[in-house]
Every structure is written in C-alpha cells, then in structure tokens.
Amino acid sequence: MPDTTSAPRPFIIWTLQRTGGTNLAHQLTLRSGLQGTQHEPFNPGRMFGHITEQWMRDGDRDALRRGVDEICQRGVIIKHCVEMVPWEVTEALARASAAAAYHHLFLYRRNGLDRLLSLHFAQRTGVWGPGMASTASGSTAVDHGAFGEVLPVEKLIQHEQTCVEALHRAWTLLQSSGASPIAVAYEDIYRTYDPAQPTRVVLPLLRQLGLSQSETDDRDWISDLVGKGDQGTRDRYHDFPGAAELAKRVKAIAPFTPDAGAASVEVRLFNENHPWILRCVVDVLPEKVSAGVPFEVGGVAVLSGQAPGGVTLQMRSSEGAIMVPWGLPSQRMAREFPQGVNPGAARFLVGGLFLRREQDRLELMLCAADGEGVKLAEIVRAEIPDYSRIYVESQDRLIFDVGGNDGADTWYYLRKGFRVVVVEAVPELADNLRRKLAAQVESGRLIVEAVAIAEREGELQFTVNDEWTEWSSAHGSPKAVAGRGRTISVPCTTLSGLISRYATPYFVKLDIEGGELAAVESLRSLDAANLPRYISWEMNSDFRRIVDHLSALGYRRFQIVRQGAAYLPRPPRPSREGLEYQCGFTNGMSGLFGADLPASEWVGMAEVLQQADACQTEMKARRARGEKPGWYDLHAARDDQQPLV
C-alpha cells in the first residue's frame, strides 16, 4: 500500500535513454524542493563524470566507492541511465544509494522497438526533446539524412540486450542491498489511450516518494507532466529502412520486467455464498505484477436484501486500510440481478496498490457500520516460476499444447508434472519458449515444435500478428490481420502426425485460430487406442462440425468454459489431475482440464450444442451493446464410464 506519511527523501531514477526520464526527473525534482543534479551526472564530461573517468583510467575500486559514497551522502536527486557508464559505476551507485536510504524509481519501456527507433532518430538528427523537434523535424536534413540509410540492426540489438541486462542487474542488486525499488513503464505515462491511466499510475508513485500534496494538485501536476513528454516525431520512426527486420529481431529479446520476471497475482475468493452477497467477481489489472509496481483491483460486488445499510468496501493490509471506490455503473449486473440492492452500481476499482516482498497479501473486505466484516477476497503473489525445477506426476503422462504463444499454459502443465509437446508456428515465439524453458527441454520434459497444424504435411503461408501474437493464424482468421501483420512460410504437419511421432497424449489443447477443425479431422486416421482422453478447443463457427467429428470418435462428454481470468474455474483442492498446484490463471491461459474441471458441468452432445448456440447468441448481444464479446473453450472427454446423451 502507498506510504502517504513519509517526508521527501532523495531518490534516483534508474532508466535508459529515450524513456522519458529527463522530463520526469525535472518535474519530480521541482516538486520535491531537494537539490537536483545534471541529468546522467556520472557520464564522462558531466558534473560527476570525473569519478567514472578515473575508474576507466585506473580501475581503482576503492576510489570509485569513496567518490560515489560522498555524493550520495549529499542527498542529491539523480537520474541515471544505466547503459551510459561501465557497470561498476552503476553497481557502486546502487550500493551507496541503498545505504543512504534513497528511494529508487525504475522507469522502463515495455516496447524496446520504439525506444531503439527513437534513440536512432535522436542520434541521427540531434532531436532529443520537444523543444528541438519543432525546428528540426521538418527539415530536409532530417527527412533525407535520418531516413536515407538502413538501420544498423545488429548494433541496435546488441545495445538493447546490454540495456535490459543492466536494468535487471541494478534492480536485483538494490533488492539484495535491502532497498525496495518501485517501477513504472513509460507506456503507462506517455503512451496510453486511456486518459485516466497516467493518474492511476503516477499518483501512487508520488505517495511512495513522499511528494503527494492535495488530490487536485496531484492531478494537475500529472496532467502537466504528461503534456510535456512528447516531442511529436514518433510517427516517422517506422520509415527507417530496416525497421521491419529490427521489429522481428527485438521480439527475441526478453524485455526488462521488475523482479526479472513478474509473478502472477492470484485472487482467492471467500464467502461467495454469504447471505449478503449475490455476485462477487474480483480481477487484478494488469495480470502480472512485480514487487514495487503499482497495480489495480477491480470487479463487482452485488449485495442482497439481507445486507445491512451503509456497507462499504475496504482493502486491508499490514499497513492499514483504504476505502475502495464502489458504485460504478454496471449494466450487466442490473440485468442479471434485478433483485439486488445495488446491481446497477456494483462495480469497483481501486488503484495504487502494491505487493512487496515483505507484504505478501491484501484483503478485500465488506464492512458494516457496526464493525462486522466479510472477507471477499485475498490478493496474493503467486509462486514465482522456477523454470529450472523438474516436476513429475505419478503416471508421467503427456500433454500437447497446440498454440503455445508465451508458454503460460505450457508451464502450467509442466508444473503439474506432465511431459509436454508445445506447438508454436511463430519462429520467434518458439525460440523464446526454448530459451525460457531450456532446463525442461534439456531434461526431456518439453519438446518445442516450430510448426503449424494443418490438414497435410509440408509448408504453408502463415500470418503473424505482430501486435497480438496469439491471433496469428494459417487459416484465414480475420484477427490475424487486426494490427501489424506479416506473412511467412512455415513447416506444417497434422495433429495425427504429431501423435504418431510422439505417442498418445492424455490431453490436447488446441488454440490455433481457425485450424481446430482440420486438427480434429486428422484424428480419424488413428485407432481408438491412440486418441487423447481429453481435448479442448476455442469455440468458433466450426463448433458443430467439430463436436460431430469427436462424437463419431467416441467422445461422449462435453463442457463449455468461459475464458478470461474472472470466469475460469479455480483449481480444486486437492487436485484431481497431476501434482497439486494452485495456479492463478491469467487472461491468456486456458485454465483447468480433464478431471480438474467441475464434474457437474459435463453434459452430452445434444445439450452442449444447445449451450454453444446460447453462448454464440450472448456473444453477439454483448458485441451489439458495445461490450467485449468474450470467448469460450469447449472440452471433450472419451472416458465415458457414465455416458451422457
């Protein structure tokens, strides 16, 4: 939770060039009233550059430590670009500032491509800020000098790798030195299409830094900050020859994320059947949260007629409680729960929340005026994945994850103790999976197949959606071209061919944007003994034909699962599939499978087709109302000990 009582302490902004740090540091320094310094003061030629120059000249570590310690004892504000000096200087600054009780703010970019293009533009044109762009950006020198040469792709890629590594090392070193760094992404301040997003992100930072004043003043200050952060040249960056090649190469670099890989946040619901409550849904925004990074919690809480008057929502932690803004409009709840006390105003949203290493849970409470409370949910940091650890369930069964994307489902299956063959047609994503899960590949627990699933063996044309990679497709899906798309040639195979090559999987997850029918049709060539026991696929217009094919192959039980973190069933306790693992599912994950799915929700073929028709109708209605339509997965099972018709 934000600390709203601490007085301003000196702070360091740890960042990279072209990340908005100059603007942010200048505005924060003015607001703090503390002594500032020249930006990047340890760069050679700057006000503290003599310390760096001496280190580069004689390598005297003691002199470096003494010089940096003396500066940090002054309590001056510093903006430090980690890639501009030798690592040893950054290391000395991290240790000295942690010992001097500095605050630490990391300002980073999620989109490394935009930063690299912006940096190259600035280096080629001399346009480094808004005041310079108005005169230079329209000149002939800029138009022809900057954009007339091919980008030095290899040099820029090496630079990005160096930058990401330096940020990771600085963050980890500060934490190991006892500091509690906080972080914010450039895109959340300067590149968001939600006008309220900068306020939601920066307000808690002001509180953490002890710089918050009145709410009105804080909001005005944030508006002024955002208005000064754009030099108006970014629309030109993709004109550079070679920009497309750079975009492909950058995707292979894992970006900086605080904690060297953000952990999932798990929402654990309580008292869902309490007599005060008709409906409670809690979601975390964003889905991945790191220690020191502010996030939001939203959802709905619909009260029944049995709830007392004057009930409030509070978020509690070891540091105290804050009121949760509640009463936002909710047309959907008004339709679904007309008998409720507050259905038309049941939504809530609270921002500026933190989960630190030493504070591992928040509690969302429904509080009555007489002090009685009902806990609705706990928000906890889920297990940080240890991708090197090997898990093996008792039967050592196999799963096919067809459409692996970022590997979230793949890791879930591995963590449950299954062996996995993951199929991912986008070459960059397949390479990322091999790197991230290298220990699993080396141990033989994971095989990465960089192929597309089709109705034949060979090669095909595959559309890669560079903005939403999970929508990439070889089957004409319109979502594949909803954004920046490109077409590549990739090898292809059939689902039955994979089974013949690797043995019969226990479960197959299909998420291949239109290719599910071809995958299921290929199963007809297999003997019954070689068919997977469970199979799931994302519902699309072919759902009736897919159900027909599966029914003919002996699949007798079906279940529809609405997707999205707020709707996925939570893992049963104890688990009925594989090893015990209380996974916090995120929006990109498919959720439970097999026997872990609610037993009461399995139905026969006739009923599942009726349910699917109803889901399709509801999706169209949501779209007509201007809402997100949502999506559904269908599951089928061959273990028909209790046939359903």
CA nearest to 301, candidates 263, 341, 268: 341
Q: Which fold has domain 398-448+502-637?
A: Rossmann fold (3.40.50)
Greatest distance between any 2 Cα atoms in the chain: 82
Distance between CA atoms of residues 60 and 54, nearest Å: 8
Please, which residues have CB within 8 angstroms of residue 381's CB and are 6 or more apart in sequence? 263, 265, 266, 289, 291, 355, 360, 361
Distance between CA atoms of residues 557 and 604, nearest Å: 5
Phi, psi of 615 (to 5 degrees): -65, -45
CA nearest to 368, candidates 300, 299, 277: 277
Least confident of 225-239, 288-302, 602-616: 225-239
Please, which residues have CB within 8 angstroms of residue 141's CB and are 6 or more apart in sequence? 125
Tokens coding 186: 């450039």
Contact 577, 534 (CB under 8 A): no
Q: Where in the chain is the domain with CATH 2.60.40?
A: 263-381
Contact 37, 389 (CB under 8 A): no
Task: Please report, rounded to a whole number, the percentage of residues in the chain having pLDDT higher than 70.
Answer: 84
Q: What is the pLDDT of residue 360?
A: 61
Tens digit of each residue's pLDDT (9 = 90 or more) over 3-14: 444 457 899 999
Q: Is 563 helix (H, G, I), strand (E, B) or coil?
A: coil
DSSP state of 144: I
Concatenating the DSSP letter of every residue in 161-221 gives HHHHHHHHHHHHHHHHTT---EEEEHHHHHS-S-TTHHHHHHHHHHHHTT----HHHHHHH
119 band by pLDDT with thresholds 50, 70 and 90: confident
Q: What is the pLDDT of residue 67?
A: 96
Q: What is the pLDDT of residue 288?
A: 57
Domain with residues 11-258, CATH architecture? 3-Layer(aba) Sandwich (3.40)
Q: What is the pLDDT of residue 4?
A: 41
Highest average pLDDT, of 88-92, 106-110, 236-240, comes from: 88-92
Tokens coding 299: 């959802």
Paired residues of 633 in beta bridges: 538, 561
Q: Cis before residue 598, ω within 30 degrees of 0? A: no
Contact 589, 404 (CB under 8 A): no
Q: Identify which has the larger pLDDT, 465 or 192.
A: 192
The Cα-based distances of 4 to 8, 61, 209, 214, 444 in angstroms read: 10, 38, 9, 11, 51
Buried b (16+ CB within 10 A) or exposed e, 563-591: bbbbbbebbbeebebbeeeebbbbebbbb
pLDDT beyond 90 at 301: yes
Tens digit of each residue's pLDDT (9 = 90 or more) over 419-462: 999 998 888 888 888 988 999 999 999 999 988 888 888 888 77
Contacts by residues 242-247 (CB-CB < 8 Å, ≥ 24 positions apart): 242/150, 242/151, 242/153, 243/117, 243/151, 244/486, 245/151, 245/153, 246/113, 246/116, 246/117, 246/151, 246/153, 246/156, 246/157, 247/113, 247/466
Tokens coding 580: 């015990």
Q: What is the pLDDT of residue 564?
A: 83
Q: Is 79 helix (H, G, I), strand (E, B) or coil?
A: strand
Contact 18, 118 (CB under 8 A): yes
Q: Which helix (H) or strand (E) holds 283?
A: strand 277-285
Count of other CB atoms within 10 angstroms of residue 155? 11
Concatenating the DSSP letter of every residue in 290-310 gives -TT--EEEEEEEEE-TTSPTT
DSSP state of 553: T
Q: Is 103 helix (H, G, I), strand (E, B) or coil?
A: strand
Tokens coding 495: 């689902």
180 alpha carbon, distance to own chain's centre: 21
Tens digit of each residue's pLDDT (9 = 90 or more) over 308-339: 989 999 998 876 788 899 999 998 899 889 99
Average pLDDT over residues 378-383: 74
Range 263-381 classified under CATH 2.60.120: no
pLDDT beyond 60 at 133: no
Paired residues of 632 in beta bridges: 562
Please, which residues have CB within 8 angstroms of residue 596's CB and are 6 or more apart in sequence? 571, 572, 575, 576, 577
Angle at which helix 87-99 crosses helix 49-58, to 10 degrees, equals: 130
pLDDT beyond 80 at 349: yes
Tens digit of each residue's pLDDT (9 = 90 or more) over 135-173: 444 444 445 455 567 788 889 998 999 999 899 889 888
What spatial distance separates the first Cα and last Cα of the chain, rounded to whole Å?
Answer: 53
Least confident of 23-32, 379-388, 402-411, 603-612: 379-388
The Cα-based distances of 249 to 316, 368, 485 in angstroms read: 44, 55, 15
Tens digit of each residue's pLDDT (9 = 90 or more) over 99-112: 999 999 999 998 88
Task: Please report, rounded to a whole number, the percentage of residues in the chain having pLDDT higher than 90.
Answer: 43
Tens digit of each residue's pLDDT (9 = 90 or more) over 620-643: 988 888 777 888 999 999 975 444
Contact 340, 304 (CB under 8 A): yes
Q: What is the pLDDT of residue 467?
A: 52
Q: Identify which has the larger pLDDT, 221 or 127.
A: 221
Average pLDDT over residues 559-575: 87
Q: Identify which has the larger pLDDT, 380 or 612.
A: 612
Q: Where in the chain is the domain with CATH 3.40.50?
A: 11-258, 398-448+502-637
Q: How many C-alpha atoms does 593 have within 13 Å on its Cβ side? A: 23
Please, which residues have CB within 8 angstroms of residue 537's CB and are 6 or more apart in sequence? 509, 510, 511, 516, 519, 520, 546, 633, 634
Distance between CA atoms of residues 539 and 614, nearest Å: 12
Q: What is the pLDDT of residue 127?
A: 66
Mean pLDDT, the chain, as a whole number? 84
Tokens coding 167: 């940020």
